[in-house]
Structure 1
């Protein structure tokens, strides 16, 4: 958990609020950026996915907007000064590998592997968090996309290479 010194920094809140503001701008402009002239099921994914992600970004930045408007006592504009954020860099590398994994081994498997790897690296090693949480997240994501949004995941390249359809 973050210590009291880090949680009182308004700089982090300003950064999160800035990301939220950019997400609002992108959310407003998404309908003009996505080509919806194609047949019905093919434009849904490129239109719905950014809407979901941007709404999640806006919702997660709302506490930062609130803390900027009503700062806690003793809040200052300092950076935490923790040096190079090695954990963040490693998780970013995992995220880049996850993007390649989506193409090679599929969204389902790469999502579970990314979540398990990131949770293990960040010290969340209880069986519930390490195994159950990634499977539940993937299950919810699969059900949401396939059954509610009628968007199916593409076939991974590995399946194409070995001839499985």
Structure 2
């Protein structure tokens, strides 16, 4: 009887410490950037399609929805001065190809793999077509509860992935010498 009560009490405490999984937040995934008005692509990119995300099941693990990823990508491009206010000359699509998450651990590292395609709508030429990989580790010091730590790692990974994309876009020369 005492063993049963102890098991029930332990399970209740463990359940409380674990909590419910919550989805990655738009704010947590947004890469804050200073405006890059020097870019050849300033204020000229429209995001057309963002896919590959999954909704979070509160009883399972934190995930990244396509809708929230889309909003974070647009907010990041806007803060970098790259997002068009109307239909831009260049279209950007993003596919979350993979989200590598740990099953458990103290420090949790999540790695996002996102395929980006940037296309010139006038010429049809693809200026960028590549998969960007970005890991991020959330530590026990950031969040004691594992599900929160996983959510923070998800957000950080996507935030860094978007940041790498923006850095890559800033190096593109459209009207200049070449597009790498």
TM-score range, shorter chain: under 0.3
What is the TM-score when the length of structure 1 is the normalising length? 0.28
1 or 2, which has the higher helix percentage? 1
TM superposition score normalised by structure 2: 0.26
The structure where strand makes up a greater share of residues is 2
